[in-house]
């Protein structure tokens, strides 16, 4: 009986499955992209995410756990930890891999996929701004304010305008301070 053996069997015995997963994880971290069968890709995804999360933590214990998970490949672990330390996955809270389906393999019809690391930065969601409502009679039915989707570019333009306004306000405050000092010197 297969007690306490989690995951797919992948057509092999437990030790071969374990070795195959370790090899696929190492290949993905080394090359940033691999072509494999869909079930294998889905099976190694949690292992890859776990190793990258350990790398984000960055302490000695996490490094040793990653070395154990990759079968003692210290050089690969060092490379992964250095990439993460340089900010590769800094803005991403999980979901470090992407699986893209290719279709069936010609020989046996196995569903093939490309699995790759997501290295591009995460786009922030658009902020929703509530539109003010006109005053309505009390007898009218109370409604919630409408929510409008704002484009990220519009939010950036508003933030830039606020930054320019702050700089102008600082310049005006400095000019006023200088004028007050000159007035005090004149007295």
Nearest to 48 by CA among 84, 102, 10: 84
Assess whether 113 and 182 both reside in one domain. no
Among 13-17, 84-88, 111-115, 152-156, the range scoring the smallest mean pLDDT is 152-156
Three-class SS state of 113: strand
66-120 tens-digit pLDDT: 999 998 899 999 999 999 999 888 888 889 999 999 999 999 999 999 999 998 8
Tokens of 104: 């069936």
Q: Do residues 46 and 87 both lie within one domain?
A: yes
For the chain, the domain total comes to 2
Task: Supply the pLDDT for residue 40.
Answer: 95
Whether 21 and 110 share a structural domain = yes
Among 25, 65, 26, residue whose Cα is nearest residue 42 = 25
Q: Which residue has the higher pLDDT, 116 or 177?
A: 116
* Torsional sign, CA 98, 102, 103, 108: negative
- 12 touches 21 (CB < 8 A): no
pLDDT above 70 (res 22): yes
Give the chain's largest Cα–Cα span. 98
Greater confidence (96 vs 150) lies with 96
23 with 113, same domain: the answer is yes
Q: What is the pLDDT of residue 137?
A: 58
Task: Tell whether 31 and 77 lie within a shared domain.
Answer: yes
Name the domain boundary from 98, 117, 136: 117
Q: Is 77 a member of any domain?
A: yes
Cα angle 76, 34, 92; round to 5 = 70
Domain CATH number, residue 73: 3.90.1030.10
Residue 36: exposed, middle, or buried by beta-carbon count in 10 A (0-12, 13-18, 19+)? buried
Instruction: Name the average pLDDT for the chain.
Output: 86
Structural domain for 46, as ranges: 14-117
What pLDDT was estimated at residue 104? 96
The string of pLDDT tens digits covering residues 120-149 is 888 877 777 766 666 665 555 556 666 666
Q: Mention every residue, 6+ apart, whose C-beta is less than 8 A from residue 93.
A: none
User: Could you tell me which residues come within 8 angstroms of residue 48 by beta carbon, excluding any fewer than 6 positions away?
Assistant: 25, 28, 29, 96, 97, 117
């Amino acid at each position: 009986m297969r007690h306490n053996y989690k995951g797919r069997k992948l057509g092999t015995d437990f030790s071969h499955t374990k070795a195959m997963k370790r090899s696929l994880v190492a290949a993905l971290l080394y090359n940033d992209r691999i072509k494999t069968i869909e079930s294998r890709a889905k099976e190694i995804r949690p292992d890859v995410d776990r190793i990258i999360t350990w790398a984000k933590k960055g302490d000695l214990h996490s490094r040793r756990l990653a070395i154990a998970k990759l079968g003692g490949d210290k050089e690969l672990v060092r490379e992964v930890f250095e990439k993460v330390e340089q900010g590769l996955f800094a803005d991403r809270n999980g979901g470090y891999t992407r699986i893209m389906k290719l279709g069936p393999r010609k020989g046996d019809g196995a569903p093939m996929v490309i699995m790759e690391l997501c290295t591009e930065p995460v786009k922030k969601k658009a902020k929703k701004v509530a539109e003010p409502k006109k005053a309505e009679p009390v007898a009218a039915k109370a409604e919630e304010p409408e929510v409008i989707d704002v484009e990220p570019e519009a939010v950036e333009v508003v933030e830039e305008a606020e930054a320019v306004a702050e700089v102008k306000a600082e310049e005006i405050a400095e000019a006023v301070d200088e004028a007050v000092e000159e007035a005090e010197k004149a007295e």
